[in-house]
Amino acid sequence: MKLVTAIIRTSRLDQVKAALATVGVQGFTVTQAGGFGEQQGHAEIYRGARYNVDFLPRLHVDVIASDEDAATIQQAIVAAACTGSIGDGITWIMPLDSVMHIRDGKEGAASL
């Protein structure tokens, strides 16, 4: 089992959701996040005052997948989230030692 994680722009969620459905993902988790990478935030002017916005709004997407499907899921996320601009995000894959449904106790691949 693998955990595919991505940090994406908030505006790309619908495209990522459609891409994940296309590759057969039935469920995933989305959490609001904030951060910065190469762009180091940006400055905004509000009522004549300048403010530095250090952490930009992003979404944290987690998908639990089989070992065989993880790379395909990662590629689907990358293709859907890419705008070609700095700040598109990042994705990674990590191994999972154990996965269990709380409701019925199903473990491993049966829990997907």
Residue 78: CB partners within 8 Å, gap ≥ 6?
91
Structural domains in the chain?
Answer: 2-111 (3.30.70.120)
Nearest to 61 by CA among 2, 5, 3: 5
Distance (Å) of CA 67 to CA 11, 63, 74: 29, 12, 12
Quote the longest CA-to-CA distance of the chain: 57
Q: Which residue has the tokens 């619908």?
A: 14
Average pLDDT rounded to a whole number, residues 14-19? 98
pLDDT tens digits along 56-94: 889 999 999 999 999 999 999 999 999 998 889 999 999
Residue 43: pLDDT over 70: no
Q: Is the CB of residue 81 less than 8 Å from the CB of residue 12? A: yes
pTM of the entire structure? Answer: 0.84
Task: Retrieve residue 92's tokens.
Answer: 């990674």
